[in-house]
Amino acid sequence: MSSLFHTVGSIFQPIFHLFGWLLAFFYGLIPNYAVAITLLTIVIMGALTPFTVKSTRSMMAMQKLQPEIKKLQLKYKGPENRQVLNEELMRLYREEGANPIGGCLPVLLQAPFLFILYSVIRGLANKTAAGLAQPRYIPTGSKMYHNLIASNGQINVFGMDFNLKPLASHGSFGAALPFYVMVAAAVGLQYFQMAQMNNRNRKSGQAIPSQQLTMQRLLPVFFAYFYLVIPTAVVLYMIISTIIRIITQDIMFRTGVSNPNKAGEKAIPSASKSEQPAPEKPTADSDTAKPSTMKPPPHPRSKSKRKRKH
């Protein structure tokens, strides 16, 4: 197992050094670890945004197709119709531009970045056998390197060591409270991001699959444990990345980019005035042919006759 980790680590070494160089570069611009991590997160999310847009559109398409999917499942019930059902579902997905696993794309793509950032953060706090700081993956002549040597590997941000895990021993509850607040913020933002999608579907009248509601409830709980056992610097990365995804989704919903059919929709040109049939002009024959509904005015002689009778 150790040889496997060593092999994987050796493959990722150039990427670790690239991210370490970027982190040190941003720290050189603004000497604050939180700001440097935030700027690095913006760069990463900028690269992942096209995939986030595609994933969101795919999720919206899948939710829109839920009634059709249920119809097909009822029509082709039973194990003997499983192959036909799969073929019909794939045809439906292909025609509507939907992808059943498209919603998992951002999570799958973000996993390598979490591993890379986790490794780089651990490398920043690396120490020798004698307990002296020896940061890894960042240029030795950078300002971040010298500050880490001076702080003996501590990533100090507003009195917090971002290299520590939230569950680590902080000495007192007051010292641990800011770490727990960050975990709560990360979980709350993730829950809000998932609820943002479901609320948008409710407003549009689309049914929300029960599996998605279950995922919305359980995933934040799973991530809460994950955030408690990773360095706080990585928790900060998750907070910033989730905020960026929330903003991205909001812009998509407002502009209609999340509509999976928008790209394929074409405005139907209205018929020009020359192509439209001209209204028929009433002719003399048509006027005489129609029975008149108005009573003719009384003749003046009829009044005089009535007076004579009286």
Best mean pLDDT range from 128-132, 233-237, 280-284? 233-237
Long-range contacts of 65-68 (CB under 8 A, 24+ apart): 65/92, 65/93, 65/96, 65/98, 66/206, 66/207, 66/209, 67/207, 68/92
Q: Mean pLDDT over all residues of the chain?
A: 77
Question: Does a structural domain hold residue 261?
Answer: no
- Nearest 5°: the CA angle 264, 268, 271 is 165
pLDDT at 4 over 50: yes
pLDDT digits (tens, 9 = 90+) for 135-151: 999 999 999 999 999 99
For residue 250, the tally of other CB atoms under 10 A from its CB is: 12
Question: Does a structural domain hold residue 170?
Answer: yes
Question: Does a structural domain hold residue 1?
Answer: no
Q: What is the pLDDT of residue 71?
A: 86
Q: What is the pLDDT of residue 128?
A: 87
- Distance separating alpha carbons of residues 241 and 114, to the nearest angstrom: 11
Weakest-pLDDT range from 111-125, 170-184, 206-220: 206-220
Question: Does a structural domain hold residue 130?
Answer: yes
Single-letter residue type at 169? S
Question: Does a structural domain hold residue 129?
Answer: yes
pLDDT at 132 over 80: yes
Residues β-bridged to residue 160: 157
**Which pLDDT band, with edges at 50, 70 and 90, does 178 fall under?**
very high
Question: Does a structural domain hold residue 309?
Answer: no
Kindly tell me the sign of the dihedral angle through the C-alpha atoms of 83, 88, 89, 93.
positive
pLDDT at 35 over 90: yes
Weakest-pLDDT range from 197-211, 233-247, 262-276: 262-276
Total tally of structural domains belonging to the chain:
1
pLDDT at 32 over 70: yes
Question: Does a structural domain hold residue 279?
Answer: no
Question: Does a structural domain hold residue 293?
Answer: no
Weakest-pLDDT range from 213-217, 218-222, 233-237, 246-250: 213-217
Lookup result for tokens 């569950």: 167
Which domain does 241 fall in, by range?
A: 8-255
Q: What is the mean pLDDT of residues 84-97?
A: 82
Weakest-pLDDT range from 6-10, 191-195, 251-255: 6-10
Q: Which two tokens stand for residue 113?
A: 């970045």
Cα-based distances in Å from 32 to 77, 156, 206, 238: 60, 9, 45, 18
Q: What is the pLDDT of residue 278?
A: 47
Single-letter residue type at 11? I
Q: What is the pLDDT of residue 206?
A: 57
Q: Which two tokens stand for residue 220?
A: 């934040």
Q: Which one, of 85, 92, 91, 103, lies nearest residue 65 by Cα? A: 92
pLDDT at 292 over 50: no
Kindly provide the b/e burial profile for residues 177-213, where b requires at least 16 CB atoms within 10 angstroms of the residue's own CB: eebeebbebbbebbbebbeebbebbeeeebeebeebe
Q: Give the 3-state secondary structure percentages of the chain, helix then strand then coil, rounded to 5.
A: 65, 0, 30
